[in-house]
Amino acid sequence: MKSLDETHDAGQKSWILSANVNSCDFPLQNLPFGVFRRHKSQESFRGGVAIGDEIVDLGAAVDTGLFSGDARIAAEAAATSTLNTFMSLGPAYRIALRQTLSALLRQGAARQEDMRACLVPQTEAEYALPATIGDFSDFYSSLHHATNVGALFRPDNPVLPNFKWLPVGYHGRSSSIFVSGKTFRRPSGQLKSPDTPAPEYRPSRRLDYEAELGIFVGRGNATGQPVDMDSAEEHVFGVSILNDWSARDIQAWEYQPLGPFLAKSFTTTVSPWIVTLEALAPFRSPWTRDPTDPQPLPHLLGSDTRERGAIDIHVEVLLQTARMRSDDIAPIKLSVSRFIDSYWTISQLITHQSSNGCNLCPGDLLGTGTLSGPERDSLACLLELSRGGQTPIALPNGEIRTFLEDGDTVIMRAYCERDGQVRIGFGQCVGTVLPAD
C-alpha cells in the first residue's frame, strides 16, 4: 500500500516557479524519472527528474553532495544511462530519494543555489528509453475494448469466456520499442481480402494506434517464485504512456491461431518519463467488479486491491495530419479514456504474469492494452472510433480518417486530477507515420 506523506502535500510549492503552474505536468508532487542528455550533444545519457520545465541532473546533484544515506545510493544508481539498477533497489530507496528531492526543491529549501546549478531546461534535452527493456508483454485489460473489437469480428461471441477470469496477454518484442518523438515507416505485410484467392505483400492500409499505459517492473522475482497480490506493487517502479501501434489488415490475416505478430512488432512508442506509484497514491480508490461477473480467483484478489487497486489516470489521444501542420492547425482531440475503467488492475497483471513462476526483471515492460471506456469519446483506437473503417472521422479542416495516413502524428497525453490534490501529468508520447519504403 502506498501511503501519503509530506511529498503529497498539495500546499507545498517549489522554488522552481514553472512547477507551480496549475496546468504543469511536473509539479513538486510528481518527480518522475527519465533518461536524457542535452540535445545533439556528445554527452552521455543519464538519469534525471522532471520538475516544472526543468530536469534535475541526478549525476550533477550527486557530485554536489546533495544526497546522503539511502537517497544517495538511489541517486547514484539513477544517474547512469539506464534506470534498471535504480529500479532493482525497490520502493524504500525510491521513496528515500523522492523525499530528499522534495525537500531540496520546495520553497524555502536551504541549498537552492546548489540545486539550481544541477538543472537542465527541458527545451534543451533529448531523451532515451528510460530503461533497457528485456521483455515486453501486452495485455488486453479493457472489457469495453474487448467487447467493441470482438463485436466487429465475432458478433455472436464478442468476449471470449477466459477474459473475465484472467488478464489475457501475449509476449511482444523489446527490440522495436522506442522513446517518444521517433518517426517510423508504414509497415508492410501479407494482406488477404475475402474476395481474393491468395494474399499479397504490400504496405498496410489500416494502420492504427492503441492508447495504453506502460508498467515498468522494479524489483524482480526469482524464477519459480510467483509474486502474490499483497506484494505485487513492491515489484512495480512506475507508469508511462504507451502507444502500441497496430496494422489491422496485417493482423486480420495472421492472427489465427496464435495472435498478432508482424501487425504489432514494427514499433511501440513510450513516453520518456516514468511516474512512480508514490506520485499516483492520491488518485487511488477502491476496485470493484460487477457482481454479476465472475469474481477473481483468490490468487488474483487481495485486500489492498479491494481498498485501493483502482487508479484514476486519464489518457488523451490527439491527431495532427501533415496538412494540419502545414496550415498551422493545432492537433484535434480524438478521445479521453480512464484507467479506472479497466477490468484488471496493475497488481493483477503483475501477479498473473508471474503466477506460473515466470521471473520478472527490472526494466521489463507490461502494456495494459487499449484503454477504451464506455462512451464513444473514450474509444482509444481508430478501429473502434471508425467501426472498422465503416464510419469515417471528420477532421476540422475537411480531411477524413478511418485509419492513419502518411504524415499523421499521434500525440498521447496522460494526467491525474482530483479535488484537493495537485494535478500529476505524464508528459507526451508522440509518433509520426512515414511512407513505406
Catalytic residues: 145
Q: At what angle do helices 91-105 and 69-78 cross, to 10 degrees?
A: 100
Q: What are phi and psi of 77, to 5 degrees?
A: -70, -35
For residue 383, give the amino acid letter: L
Cell of 174: 523489446
CA distance 389 to 400: 11
Own/partner long-range contacts of 413-417 (Cβ < 8 Å, ≥24 apart): 413/241, 413/315, 413/316, 413/318, 414/213, 414/241, 414/271, 414/313, 414/314, 414/315, 414/316, 415/25, 415/313, 415/314, 415/316, 416/280, 416/282, 416/283, 416/311, 416/312, 416/313, 416/314, 417/283, 417/314
Query: Grid coordinates 509530506 are at which residue?
Result: 6
CA distance 21 to 30: 13
CA distance 138 to 214: 9
CA distance 303 to 283: 18
Q: Is 90 left (phi over 0), alpha (psi -120 to 50) or beta?
A: left
Q: Which of 273, 317, 320 is nearest to 432 (CA)?
A: 320
